[in-house]
A and B are shown apart, each in its own frame.
Chain A
Amino acid sequence: MIPEIGHFALALALALALVQAVVGMVGAQRADARLMAATPALAAGLLVTIAAAFACLVWAYVANDTTVLNVVQNSHSAKPLLYKISGAWGNHEGSMLLWVLILALCGGAVAAFGTNLPSALQARVLAVLALVALGFLGFILGTSNPFQRIWPPPLDGQGLNPVLQDPGLAFHPPLLYLGYVGFAVTYAFAVAALIEGRVDAAWGRWVRPWALAAWSFLTLGIALGSWWAYYELGWGGYWFWDPVENASLMPWLAGCALLHSAIVVEKREALKTWTVFLALLAFGMSLLGTFLVRSGVLNSVHAFANDPARGTVILILLTLYIGGGFLLFAWRAQAMLPTGVFTPISREGALVLNNLLLCSIAAVVLVGTLYPMFADLVLGEKFSVGPPFFNTAILPLAVPLVGAMALGPVLSWKRARLFPALQRLWWAALAGLGALALCLALEGQRIGPALGFGAAAWTILAAMADIADRIALFSRPRAAWARAKGLPRAAWGGALAHAGLGVMILGLAGMGLATDTLRLVRPGESVALAGLDYRLVSLADAPGPNFSARRATVEVRDGSRLVTTLMPERRSFPLARMTTTEAAIHTTWLSDLYVVLGEEREGGAVLRIHNNPLAPWIWLGGAIMALGGGLSLSDRRMRVSAPAVRPVKAGARA
């Protein structure tokens, strides 16, 4: 009964989305106040119906209702409760439902918090969001119904892929979707602006919090996914340039450019066309990722069980939303004229540079991801584009990006002079060069890590210098506290996010110096790596709730001092007929000691031991970046009403 209610709620949501789209568009077009006032209420209705459907699916999972095909395929009664719940979105159908739920949440937020928006803009934004929801609800109901029944019901489910039974992965998809779908809101704002033919400072002020929120969630989601790959997959790596990872990186890069260029629109009314384009692009990249993962056109460890029929429907949706958005852009963006002028050396100029570099990196990632697929299609040749390409192509773009990133915040708007700005950052630059030279001296000719350490020192210290300068820490230290309290949170958030990237680069540079060894070890024998002694004490069986495990006990000693005891496991899940490796990791914050248990033979076991310097700082850096975004988001200016909308100067009325 409850699955039928969920199915019915989905159908109802489809109808509501259709009504919301039509009422919003028509109401805004005719300037009909009653119709426009109805759209927020409809958005609330859409949220309630989709939430009801989602609750029904979660109920089916928690109750282990084996008459529901989706539950049978992805769950099992012996699974811990957390994974029963997260199993609801650990598969294609459920994750699509989560996707539209988050879309509806965003619509609800625009309806609830957007009361200070001009009603025509709000109605149009909600109408566009409803159009997106309409397409994806149709997709779910048509090709991926999560409430499909199965009769007769099997005794129990087939279990969730054991690799996915992990707390990190339980929250990875929701965070990613919050990011992807958040860009649907900026997309809706861009489309509404194109229809109205007007982009002004107020528009920039409304778009920026959405871009910022989406970007922060995406940052967290990607960092969590990377962390999960690091500790769960047991390969010792954190980023593999896998097409699906790239698919999440591209909207992140576009969104990063968007949130910076939206600042220019808000403060200086320049870069309008470009900002609208980035808003379309960020959502386009999110949808492209959805298509790549779910249609089966690429070969990846991440890909969902796929089906070309689904791929066709997603491609149609992609054509409608991205193609439609870009067509509207080609047709209407002519009308948008910049009003603010600026010289190349200025805050605006630095932000333009940031945009160009971020978009170039996104283009590199896009080409590297799509090229093998198109080469296969057109030339019939198989090859893969791997880390060497991405690393060599991105490094020359990342170096100026990081260099300019620290400089931008200390430049003034409109017109700035480079020399005084550099003067304020001299000690950060000095420290950066010092770190680079030190690393080259200690580690030899390893330019990658050395550049990384230099860049990290430069970025972190420049962010500190920027804050110190703004609160006049050195020139008037007595007033510094009062000034620090008065400094807008957006400034703190920006500096924190920039420093977070510096921390991440620090971790990446450290991982550039990682060492590992693979050795067959018998109990009692030991392996030396990076000054530490790893001794295999014993090998034993260890039962688990829905798996059986082999566990190695490894003592790590520094000379005679016991640093830690690591217990890597190899788990085998009889139900899924899969084995997973559970790497044992001990972090000293300066380094991760990482041991993986391999196969056993000749009375011993193969141990793979990694020494990963500074590894945890990669994900901590990501978390700091997201925190900076959140801090910036809590700025008072983001919440209080935007400046009054100025009369239209030059713009075609739609």
Chain B
Amino acid sequence: MSEAVPSPTRSPWRRRGLLLAPVAVAGLAGAGFYAMLRGLGTGRYDPRGVPSALIGKPAPDFTLPPLEGADRPGLAAADLKTGRPVLVNFFASWCVPCVIEHPQLMRMAREGVPIFGIAYKDKPEDSLRFLKQHGTPYARLGTDQPGRVAIDWGLYGVPETYLIDGAGIIRWRMAGPVTEEILADQLTPLLRRGA
């Protein structure tokens, strides 16, 4: 039955359009929310992430002593300019998410990606025990026991990983563990492009 006579002052199409507007707006918002939820899973959308002010800038200057007994050289800003992309990873033995990301670091190291580690606010013997237990992915390893270098880098927490290109410019930052998904979706493509 189509007895519904539209009011004479307004065209029926305009009325229909107005009535459809809520569905359209809700639909668009819904699609956006869906994309956010997908992004949460892959790490592309992170409401808690804080943008690093250092992206696109050279890494801050620093020199860190090596970790005694780890059999790796220490780390300084000059070591970052290798002509190829490198990763700088802040970690600590007391940090649980560091254990989660460790297998990914080990795999990248086996695939030949240079990873430089910085032990953050950690006792040397604890760092050593951590590396003995889980393996050492780091080509160079500095200790930042007072956490002073971390301040210059704007460290948000551990673990935190930076990608530095061949010219020593910071290109990418991950605050939190590098998971399988982040490795596959973000880091590997960047490394392939040579950052």
Contact = CB atoms under 8 A, between A and B. Distances in A.
Chain B interface size range? 20 to 34
Contact of A295 (B6, B20, B37, B49): B37
Given A297-B47, A377-B35, A370 B40 contact: no
A650 B12 CA distance: 16
Most chain A CB within 10 A, of B20, B34, B37, is at B37
A360 to B, nearest CB: 15
Interface stretch (B21-29, B73-81, B126-134): B21-29
B45 A376 contact: yes
Interface stretch (A331-339, A595-603, A628-636): A331-339
B38 to A, nearest CB: 8
Contact of A382 (B34, B37, B49): B49
A289 interface: no
A337 B22 contact: no
B36 A323 contact: no
Q: Decide if the interface of chain A is mainly helix, strand, loop or mixed.
A: helix
Contacts of A326: 22-23, 26
Nearest to B25: A326
A377 B47 CA distance: 9
Interface residues of A, number: 38
A48 B34 CA distance: 35
A326 B27 CA distance: 10
B7 interface: yes
Interface stretch (A228-236, A314-322, A470-478, A508-516): A314-322
B19 A334 contact: yes
A377 B39 contact: yes
B19 A329 contact: yes
Contacts of A386: none
A329 B12 CA distance: 15
A318 B7 CA distance: 32
B37 A650 contact: no
B6 A334 contact: yes
B48 interface: yes
Nearest to B42: A308
Contacts of B3: 335, 650-652
Contacts of B41: 308
Given A329-B22, A382-B50, A377 B1 contact: no
A311 interface: yes
Interface string A289-307: 0010001111100000000
B69 interface: no
A203 interface: no
B5 A650 contact: yes
A441 interface: no
A255 to B, nearest CB: 17
Nearest to A292: B33
B27 A323 contact: yes
Interface string B130-160: 0000000000000000000000000000000
A370 B29 contact: yes
A312 B48 CA distance: 19
Contacts of A382: 49-51
Nearest to B39: A377
Contacts of A575: none
A10 B30 CA distance: 29
A373 B2 contact: no
A334 B16 contact: yes
A338 B23 CA distance: 22
Contacts of B47: 296-299, 373, 376
Contacts of A652: 1-4
A311 B40 contact: yes
A458 interface: no
A311 B19 contact: no
B32 interface: yes
B7 A337 contact: yes
B57 interface: no
A466 to B, nearest CB: 33
B2 to A, nearest CB: 7
A330 interface: yes
A99 interface: no
Given A291-B33, A308-B37, A376-B47, A284 B26 contact: yes
Contacts of A333: 19
A561 interface: no
Contacts of A374: 32
Interface in A269-283: 273, 277, 280-281
B133 to A, nearest CB: 25
Given A298-B47, A376-B45, A377-B32, A308 B1 contact: no
A650 to B, nearest CB: 5
A485 interface: no
A330 B33 contact: no
Interface in B32-68: 32-37, 39-41, 45, 47-51
A76 to B, nearest CB: 22
B6 A318 contact: no
A374 B15 CA distance: 29
B26 A323 contact: yes
A634 to B, nearest CB: 34
Nearest to A277: B22
Contact of B36 (A281, A297, A322, A337): A297
B37 to A, nearest CB: 5
Given A323-B23, A330-B22, A315 B33 contact: yes
A166 B5 CA distance: 57
A287 to B, nearest CB: 11
Nearest to A303: B47
Interface in A320-364: 322-323, 326-327, 329-330, 333-335, 337-338
A653 interface: yes
A373 B36 CA distance: 8
B37 A330 contact: no
Nearest to A197: B4
A650 B5 CA distance: 8
B10 to A, nearest CB: 11
B45 A377 contact: yes
A281 B26 CA distance: 10
A481 B44 CA distance: 68
Contacts of B49: 382
B72 to A, nearest CB: 34
A295 B180 CA distance: 22
B23 A315 contact: no
Contact of A315 (B1, B5, B27, B34): B34
Contacts of B5: 337, 650
The 3 nearest A-B residue pairs measured at CB = A299-B47, A326-B23, A326-B22
9 contacts: A297-B33, A308-B37, A315-B30, A323-B30, A330-B19, A330-B23, A335-B3, A338-B7, A376-B47
Interface of A: 273, 277, 280-281, 284, 291, 295-299, 308, 311-312, 315, 318-319, 322-323, 326-327, 329-330, 333-335, 337-338, 370, 373-374, 376-377, 382, 650-653
Interface of B: 1-7, 12, 15-16, 19-20, 22-23, 26-27, 29-30, 32-37, 39-41, 45, 47-51
